Chains A and B, each alone.
Chain A
Amino acid sequence: MSTGTYSPRPGAAPVGRMIAAQAALETRMLLRNGEQLLLTVVIPSLLLVLFSTVDVVDTGAEKAVDFLAPGVLALAVMSTAFTGQAIATGFERRYGVLKRLGASPLPRWALMTAKTLSVLVTEVFQIALLTVIAFALGWSPQGGPLPVALLLVLGTAAFSGLGLLMAGTLRAEATLAAANLVFLLLLVGGGVVVPLEKFPDAARGVLELLPISALSGGLRDVLQGGAGMPWGDALVLAVWAVLGLGAAARFFRWE
């Protein structure tokens, strides 16, 4: 037995440790990225404060914050699971990070698990911050936590699938542009700050099927209306999740 510095002693770390390390690294990368923070923290917070305190849009609610808080929570999920994840993963693919990790002991499923954990951890930060801001603005949420949690998880799955599909099929620059554009369009047309009732009936029927509308509408039914489980919205999100994740699994290119 030679015992030099570099004498081979190969082996993978326990998979749990690998996933924890990968999730921690991905989360650090996200929090270090200024543009990502703008998207995930600054924009939702500003929208919540601005639209709650200035009468820009008639929300139809007694207190604007009761209408806005659920919408902004939905926006936060979209910003992290869809826009942020699509852009970050697109550039990881472009810079060969996914390729390099593919030759490491970390299995692909473990990498995807770590990415999901990183998204969930970021969402917990976002939701905590936005909840504090909303309470400061006089928010009085209704409903129970369980339907809210289920909607958030389904929304995360739906947006992750779409984000990864984009990141794994388009060029990184195209993903950057498209993910931001979609974010903006869904922010306006997805019932986040503008009630869907403001749109013509024909458009509204389509808009209601968007994942952002289902998430913001579902959260609003519970948190503003005190509903139980909004099954219709949950079903829309579940369909998007199955389609998006399925397509991503099928078409994602690692290089």
Chain B
Amino acid sequence: MREKSVDTAVRVRGLVKRYGNRTAVDGLDLDVRTGTVTAVLGPNGAGKTTTVETCEGYRRADAGTVRVLGLDPVADAAALRPRIGVMLQSGGVYSGARAEEMLRHMAKLHAHPLDVDALIERLGLGSCGRTAYRRLSGGQQQRLALALAVVGRPELVFLDEPTAGLDPQARRATWDLVRELRADGVTTVLTTHFMQEAEELADDVAIVDAGRVVAQGSPEELCRGGAENTLRFTGRPGLDLGSLLKALPDGTAAAELTPGTYRISGDVDPQLLATVTTWCAQHGVMPEGIAVERHTLEDVFMELTGKELRG
């Protein structure tokens, strides 16, 4: 059991958090292995932020246990806070403070901070060193928040939607930094509703829906679920999928995702592909953009929750 506390940076069991009548988190379990990147993936309102903020010590659990680096985030806050880095979803900086000033200040609160100049350079914040926070662009504010989370050389960082609202280039830069953190032994927990972010970065993905983890594993493990592949195509809306399914082997599923967009999932082999195209030919349907795809996290999410993730 001792082994476990060393290898597990975050351990959440049966977490429940209510706001008035609304249950934001409803019996959530989560394990984060030390030294890995874990993505908490889910749509808005799934309970991601509440979970992370409970781990950060901001909220008291209504039920369940939370251990972060072996500590209780509320009772042991004084011991825990120097060891974690926190990036809030927004805000957190004096509106009149300059980016560099705030970063230097946060560095001063720690015993062995990173080199501030190098961090500013690394995150491309050099041009806004003298600009007041409220005049920075959204992307610059995000990058500053990320810098504030890592400047104290934490063991564990919590990043709440670190790339929401970033352009693709800035998103890549953030991803690169997360990879560097991982390479240097920092554990990262990030929340996201971007599928691609979870697939690119995470060793482990916890899919959260309605306050619970509905699946957890590596992206590969989650996508392997059932060894299924997917066939997608577009055609005219309202095709009779029942008739198509009759022609396909048992265990195959077909769905019209949006009007005119079809997805066949199952054991997609050359025979199945031929059957689908033959059926289309018989029904006078041109299957535009037909493609065989690996099962994606998006599909996994959809199967588990019946919902589309915003991407």
Residues of A within 8 A of B (CB): 2, 4-13, 17-18, 21-22, 25, 28-29, 32-33, 91-92, 95-97, 99-100, 102-107, 255
Q: Are A100 and B148 in contact (CB under 8 A)?
A: yes
Q: Are B58 and A95 in contact (CB under 8 A)?
A: no
Give which listed residue, B78, B105, B118, B185, contacts A8 with CB less than 8 A.
Answer: B185
User: CB of B186 within 8 A of chain A?
Assistant: yes
Q: Are B82 and A11 in contact (CB under 8 A)?
A: yes
Task: Please give 14 more A-B residue pairs, beta carbons under 8 A apart, in addition to A28-B101, A100-B86.
Answer: A4-B184, A6-B185, A8-B185, A10-B111, A10-B112, A10-B153, A12-B110, A13-B111, A21-B105, A25-B97, A29-B96, A96-B91, A102-B58, A105-B81
Q: How far is the CA of A77 from the CA of B92 in the complex (A)?
A: 28
B73 to chain A, nearest CB (A): 10
Q: Are A6 and B184 in contact (CB under 8 A)?
A: yes
Interface of B, secondary structure class, is: loop
Interface of A, secondary structure class, is: loop
B71 to chain A, nearest CB (A): 13
How many residue-residue contacts, CB under 8 A, span A and B?
A: 117
Q: Which residues of B contact A2 (CB under 8 A)?
A: 184-185
Q: A6-B150, A8-B186, A25-B97 are in contact. Are A103 and B180 (CB under 8 A)?
A: no
Q: Are A8 and B153 in contact (CB under 8 A)?
A: yes
Q: Which residues of B contact A92 (CB under 8 A)?
A: 94
Q: Which residue of A lies closest to B181 (CB)?
A: A6
Q: Which residues of A contact B97 (CB under 8 A)?
A: 25, 29
- Taken residue by residue from 87 to 103, chain B's Cβ proximity to chain A (1 for < 8 Å, 0 otherwise) reads as 01011111111000100
Q: Are B91 and A95 in contact (CB under 8 A)?
A: yes
User: CB of B108 within 8 A of chain A?
Assistant: yes
Q: Which residues of A contact B14 (CB under 8 A)?
A: none
Q: Which residues of A contact B181 (CB under 8 A)?
A: 6
A-B contact pairs, 22 of them (CB 8 A): A4-B185, A6-B181, A6-B185, A8-B83, A8-B154, A8-B155, A9-B112, A10-B110, A11-B111, A12-B81, A22-B105, A25-B105, A91-B95, A92-B94, A95-B94, A99-B91, A99-B92, A103-B58, A104-B106, A105-B109, A107-B78, A255-B58
Q: How far is the CA of A100 from the CA of B155 in the complex (A)?
A: 18
Q: How far is the CA of A40 from the CA of B148 in the complex (A)?
A: 31
Q: Which residue of B lies closest to A26 (CB)?
A: B94
A23 to chain B, nearest CB (A): 11
Q: How far is the CA of A42 from the CA of B246 in the complex (A)?
A: 84
User: CB of B57 within 8 A of chain A?
Assistant: yes
Q: Which residues of B contact A255 (CB under 8 A)?
A: 58
Q: Are B92 and A105 in contact (CB under 8 A)?
A: no
Q: Which residues of B contact A21 (CB under 8 A)?
A: 105, 108-109
Q: Which residues of B contact A9 (CB under 8 A)?
A: 111-112, 153
Residues of B within 8 A of A (CB): 56-58, 78, 81-84, 86, 88, 90-97, 101, 105-106, 108-112, 114, 118, 148, 150, 152-155, 180-181, 183-186
Q: Which residues of A contact B56 (CB under 8 A)?
A: 103
Q: Are A5 and B114 in contact (CB under 8 A)?
A: yes
Q: Which residue of A lies closest to B111 (CB)?
A: A11
Q: Are A5 and B180 in contact (CB under 8 A)?
A: yes
Q: How far is the CA of A8 from the CA of B151 in the complex (A)?
A: 10
Q: How far is the CA of A2 from the CA of B183 in the complex (A)?
A: 9
Give which listed residue, B82, B96, B111, contacts A32 with CB less than 8 A.
Answer: B96
B88 to chain A, nearest CB (A): 6
Q: How far is the CA of A103 from the CA of B68 in the complex (A)?
A: 14
Q: Which residue of B lies closest to A105 (CB)?
A: B82
Q: Are A103 and B81 in contact (CB under 8 A)?
A: yes
Give the most central of A21, A28, A99, A104: most B CB within 10 Å: A104
Q: Which residue of A lies closest to B59 (CB)?
A: A255
Q: Are A104 and B81 in contact (CB under 8 A)?
A: yes
Q: Are A100 and B91 in contact (CB under 8 A)?
A: yes
Q: A7-B185, A103-B86 are in contact. Are A29 and B94 (CB under 8 A)?
A: yes
Q: Which residues of B contact A5 (CB under 8 A)?
A: 114, 118, 180, 184
B70 to chain A, nearest CB (A): 14
Q: Are B109 and A18 in contact (CB under 8 A)?
A: yes
Q: Are A100 and B82 in contact (CB under 8 A)?
A: no
B105 to chain A, nearest CB (A): 5
Q: A5-B118, A25-B101 are in contact. Are A12 and B82 (CB under 8 A)?
A: yes
Q: Which residue of B lies closest to A21 (CB)?
A: B108
Q: Which residues of B contact A32 (CB under 8 A)?
A: 96
Q: A10-B82, A10-B152, A95-B95 are in contact. Are A105 and B110 (CB under 8 A)?
A: yes
Q: Which residue of A lies closest to B150 (CB)?
A: A6
Give which listed residue, B58, B96, B108, B184, contacts A7 with CB less than 8 A.
Answer: B184
B111 to chain A, nearest CB (A): 3
B217 to chain A, nearest CB (A): 26
Q: How far is the CA of A244 from the CA of B207 in the complex (A)?
A: 47
Q: Are B92 and A100 in contact (CB under 8 A)?
A: yes
Q: Are B186 and A103 in contact (CB under 8 A)?
A: no
B10 to chain A, nearest CB (A): 15
